[in-house]
Amino acid sequence: MHNIWLIAKREYTERIRTKGFIIATVLIPTLMGGGIFAATALAKHSKTASHIAVVASQPQPAADLKHELESGKDTTMQVDILPSSTSLATLDSQMDNKQLDGYLIIHQDSPLPQQATFDFKPRSSADIATASAVTDGLHEVLSREYLAQHGASASDIDSFMHPVTVNIIGKGGKKGDSTASFIVAYILFFLMYMVVLMYGMNVARSIIEEKTSRVFEVLLATIKPQELLAGKILGVGAVGLTQVGIWMIAAAALAAQAGAMSGVSISPTQAVFFIIYFALGYTLYSSAAAALGAMTNSEQELQQLNMFLMMPLFFCMLMIGPIVSNSNSTLSRVVSQIPFCAPLLMNFRISLSMPAWWEIALSIALILITIYIVLSVSSRIYRVGILMYGKKPNLPEILRWLKYS
Amino acid sequence: MPIVELQNIRKVYDTKVAVEGLTLAIEPGTMFGLLGPNGSGKTSSIRMMIGMTVPDSGTVNLFGQPFARTALHRVGYLPEERGLYKKMKVLDQLIFLGQLHNLSEVTARKRSLAWCERMEISEAIDKKTEELSKGMQQKIQFIAALLHEPDLIIMDEPFSGLDPVNATLLMDTLVDLRKEGKAILFSTHRMDQVEKLCDEIALISRGHLLLSGSMRKIKSQYPRNRLQVVFSGDDSFLQHPGIAEAKNYSGIAEIILKDEAAAQPILAAAIANGTVINRFEVMEPTLEEIFIENVRASFGDAEAGGRVDA
């Protein structure tokens, strides 16, 4: 135990002093937090402000559309109404000169707008915002006109077209925000993804570093490979926990300050489960990474092998969709029990809506069993692999290593 | 009681036999040289001595007991490939390695400082390892192996890459340690160092032990049939029938004798001819010659050329 402690302590103190650690600890929450606030702020305040032309033979619905787009709820566009005799070539050249962002042609034979067809030509086909603003505007205008034709009064139309607001009631009767809880779940998912992978790979890298610098030859002259491996996993994991802990505290402080405003907050339950599943996921992935590190001789070789670590994580990402749409479906329940996915997916489900307690307990038990198996295989590979230089071993060789004494 | 005793050990990696039937013993207060060409099984043998690998058969005894990990706290090991944490400060590194050998932090610090002074690298203790020269790193590695005052010191190529001043410093230190009664095993390719330092040697090639025993005994097995004569005047004594081969580099003759006994008659013949003899020396073969001869024989002459790098 003394040796494991010494190895872990060295690994911890050396890593925590590095610039990389300090930068990641400060920068990642800043970037993430900043990104979220910027995204929500932009989503709230951005209005389409393109300049388009409408080519119409009849005054309506063109005039109403102009009104809707220039002073509507979400748009402050500039709209020019042009007669149908306008040459399209002129408009095209105006678009090429960037004076116009697009033009809409209304083909209409009768004054009744319902029979009209619409062609919209945007300057850039990637300009989805303008196109959808035009579509929404037309929809609004045509609906209003249809209602007016059927004898509805202006105030009736207004109240009919008034958007519906649904209040989401969260736990404890407080008014919640379902978008915010999705955002939190996503943040936690990607944070988990990042730290598990990052610290798992750190273990592999640290093994390769000792292998290339041959330090372990000195170390193995006093201590057992298993102690070295255990100390390393504990030390690097402690660094990860420290970092995650700092982030959680920062998130809590941020939530206290700005959380109320943005509606984004991480509950204590979410934080506790995040730390539990991080510890489990990290141990599992770092045990597997240790075997990869012991098999390879350089970072480049490690990179060829790290897809074995990435694959289950990618699979987890594919599962986000199904879990979001129904977090208690059979599929969600099954995939969140797969030990290599549970740290990410069970935690994701917890941050969406609490699964049954036995599901959580089962997933933790399964991860622990898998950790035991992976660790015993890796420590055997590690024991032999760190003494092998040169050629990268093939699978039969690795299997033979497991039998060495 | 020998400090290290290997009994008929054997180690096979897949199909390659690394060590086969190796038996040797190292007594306290001995400087033991482990010699052999590259890939001959030296490092494999050393690794089995310190329990990094386990022999497939045969026994390893340390300090008169069957191998146990607790005995490792009495062993200091300097690996062939130098291994230090590049980013760690020298003093922290030495303390860490000392602590792994069960020293307290205070003792480790005290001894590290004392050793750095002795090895003349005190100015390096606050630097990171990667900032140091190779020779300095080697001295630090050397100190790390000795901090816990081991009774058995195992050094794989301790002098490689050192300048003569530093090599001498390390050699003198090892000689001092031998005087204190420690057993020292080292491997090297530099035969002049072995001749100067070692009491006993073992020569292995392709995993087999070719020669072992005290330096005196081994050398005495070979005839003292080399003769060097520094002379002026008549050189007709070089035609003496007792000479197998002679080269005359204008006044310095290097002669291989047919027989040890031929030396005195040659001297007599030279003086009788009136040759002025400035120096007349009968020599035993150098260790290097013995090494090459034995390793060649173990490989078979044809393939020896490329593999012998003494």
Report the share of chain B in percent with pLDDT over 90: 16
Give CA–CA dist B247/B137, Å, rounded: 45
Cα–Cα separations (whole angstroms), residue A326 to A16, A161, A186, B103, B296 = 40, 31, 15, 59, 76
pLDDT the model gives residue B51: 82
Report the share of chain A in percent with pLDDT over 90: 6
Edge-to-edge strand order for the sheet containing B226-232? Answer: B243-249, B252-257, B226-232, B276-283
Other C-beta atoms closer than 10 Å to the C-beta of A337 total 17
Question: Is there a domain that residue A39 lies in?
Answer: no
Range of the domain at A181: 2-33+177-401
Q: Does one domain contain both B17 and B129?
A: yes
Q: Does one domain contain both A186 and A301?
A: yes
pLDDT tens by residue, A45-101: 556 677 888 887 777 777 777 777 777 666 777 777 777 777 777 778 877 877 777
Q: What is the CA radius of gyration of chain A?
A: 30
| Residue B182 confidence (pLDDT) above 80 | yes
Q: How many domains does chain B have?
A: 2
Q: Across the interface, do A215 and B50 touch by the CB < 8 Å criterion? A: no
Residue where a domain terminates, one of A123, A141, A165: A165
Average pLDDT over residues A145-164: 77
pLDDT the model gives residue A183: 75
pLDDT the model gives residue A296: 83
Q: Does one domain contain both A126 and A198?
A: no
| Residue A163 confidence (pLDDT) above 50 | yes
Q: Does one domain contain both B276 and B175?
A: no
- B116 CB-contact burial (10 Å; exposed 0-12 / middle 13-18 / buried 19+): buried
pLDDT tens by residue, A324-364: 888 788 888 888 899 998 888 898 888 887 888 899 999 99
Q: Does one domain contain both B200 and B178?
A: yes
Residues of A in contact with B101 (CB under 8 A): 222
| Residue B303 confidence (pLDDT) above 60 | no
pLDDT band at B143 (very low <50, low <70, confident <90, very high): very high
Query: Which residue of chain B has the CA closest to A8?
Result: B96
Residue where a domain terminates, one of A120, A135, A165: A165
Tokens of A190: 């990607």
- Mean pLDDT is lowest, of A126-140, A238-252, B52-66, for A126-140
Adjacent-strand bridge partners of B229: B253, B280
Q: Which CATH number is A107's domain given? A: 3.40.190.10
Q: Does one domain contain both B25 and B159?
A: yes
pLDDT the model gives residue B308: 46
Residues of B in contact with A224 (CB under 8 A): 69
pLDDT band at B173 (very low <50, low <70, confident <90, very high): very high
Residue A98 per-residue DSSP state: T
Q: Are strands B226-232 and B276-283 parallel, antiparallel or unpaired?
A: antiparallel
Question: Closest by alpha carbon to A8, among A222, A231, A209?
Answer: A231
Q: Does one domain contain both A92 and A228?
A: no
| Residue B307 confidence (pLDDT) above 50 | no
Residues of B in contact with A216 (CB under 8 A): 83
Cα–Cα separations (whole angstroms), residue A206 to A385, A393, A398, B4, B42 = 14, 19, 21, 34, 28
Question: Is there a domain that residue B294 lies in?
Answer: no
Q: Does one domain contain both A27 and A86?
A: no
Query: Which residue of chain A has the CA closest to B55?
Result: A405
Q: Across the interface, do A214 and B83 touch by the CB < 8 Å criterion? A: yes
The ipTM value here is 0.74
Range of the domain at B231: 226-283
Q: Does one domain contain both B244 and B122?
A: no
Residue where a domain terminates, one of B199, B219, B239: B219
**Min Cα separation B79/chain A (Å):** 6
Q: Does one domain contain both A246 and A388?
A: yes
Query: Which residue of chain A has the CA closest to B155?
Result: A218
pLDDT the model gives residue A262: 52
Give CA–CA dist A155/B133, Å, rounded: 88
| Residue B15 confidence (pLDDT) above 80 | no
Residue bearing the bigger pLDDT, A296 or A162? A296
Q: Does one domain contain both A312 and A393?
A: yes
Contact A175, A167 (CB under 8 A): yes
Q: Is B47 part of the contact surface with chain A (CB cutoff 8 Å)?
A: yes
Q: Which of B47, B54, B83 sits opposite A213 (nearest CB)?
A: B83
Q: Does one domain contain both B162 and B44?
A: yes
Q: Which of A215, A397, A405 sits opposite B83 (nearest CB)?
A: A215
Q: Is A212 part of the contact surface with chain B (CB cutoff 8 Å)?
A: no
| Residue A34 confidence (pLDDT) above 90 | no
Give CA–CA dist B186/B309, Å, rounded: 17
CA atoms within 13 A on the CB side of B18: 19
Q: Is B74 part of the contact surface with chain A (CB cutoff 8 Å)?
A: no
Q: What is the DSSP string of chain B?
A: --SEEEEEEEEEETTEEEEEEEEEEE-TT-EEEEE--TTSSHHHHHHHHTTSS--SEEEEEETTEE--GGGGGGEEEE-SS----TTSBHHHHHHHHHHHTT--HHHHHHHHHHHHHHTT-GGGTTSBGGGS-HHHHHHHHHHHHHTT--SEEEEESTTTT--HHHHHHHHHHHHHHHHTT-EEEEE-S-HHHHHHH-SEEEEEETTEEEEEEEHHHHHHTS---EEEEEEES--GGGG-TTEEEEEEETTEEEEEESSGGGHHHHHHHHHHTTPEEEEEEEEPPPHHHHHHHHHHHHH-HHHHHHH---
- B255 CB-contact burial (10 Å; exposed 0-12 / middle 13-18 / buried 19+): buried
Q: Is A402 part of the contact surface with chain B (CB cutoff 8 Å)?
A: no
- Mean pLDDT is lowest, of A4-13, A320-329, B126-135, for A320-329
Q: Does one domain contain both A58 and A82?
A: yes
pLDDT the model gives residue B205: 86
Q: Does one domain contain both B105 and B245?
A: no
pLDDT the model gives residue A295: 83
Q: Does one domain contain both A14 and A97?
A: no
Question: Is there a domain that residue B304 lies in?
Answer: no
The sign of the torsion formed by the CA atoms of B198, B201, B203, B204 equals: negative
Q: Does one domain contain both B82 and B185?
A: yes
Phi, psi of A254 (to 5 degrees): -65, -40
Q: Does one domain contain both A199 and A117?
A: no
Give CA–CA dist A37/A43, Å, rounded: 10
Helix A307-325 crosses helix A342-352 at what angle (to 10 degrees)?
Answer: 20
Q: Does one domain contain both B57 and B167?
A: yes
Q: How many domains does chain A have?
A: 2
Query: Which residue of chain B has the CA closest to A18?
Result: B87
pLDDT tens by residue, B186-216: 888 778 888 888 889 898 888 888 888 888 8
Question: Is there a domain that residue B293 lies in?
Answer: no
Q: Does one domain contain both B278 and B150?
A: no
Average pLDDT over residues A7-17: 89
| Residue A176 confidence (pLDDT) above 60 | no
Q: Is A6 part of the contact surface with chain B (CB cutoff 8 Å)?
A: yes
Edge-to-edge strand order for the sheet containing A78-83? Answer: A78-83, A51-56, A102-107, A117-122
Q: Across the interface, do B85 and A400 touch by the CB < 8 Å criterion? A: no
Q: Which of A18, A221, A400 sits opposite B77 (nearest CB)?
A: A221
Residue bearing the bigger pLDDT, B272 or A89? B272
pLDDT band at B240 (very low <50, low <70, confident <90, very high): confident
- Residues 110-149 of chain A with CB under 8 A from chain B are none
Q: Does one domain contain both A97 and A221?
A: no
Q: Does one domain contain both A193 and A88?
A: no
Question: Is there a domain that residue A170 lies in?
Answer: no
Q: Which CATH number is B261's domain given? A: 3.30.70
Q: Does one domain contain both A59 and A24?
A: no
Question: Is there a domain that residue B298 lies in?
Answer: no
pLDDT tens by residue, A179-226: 667 777 888 888 888 888 888 888 888 888 888 877 888 888 888 888
pLDDT tens by residue, A279-293: 899 999 998 888 888
**pTM exceeds 0.80 for this model:** no
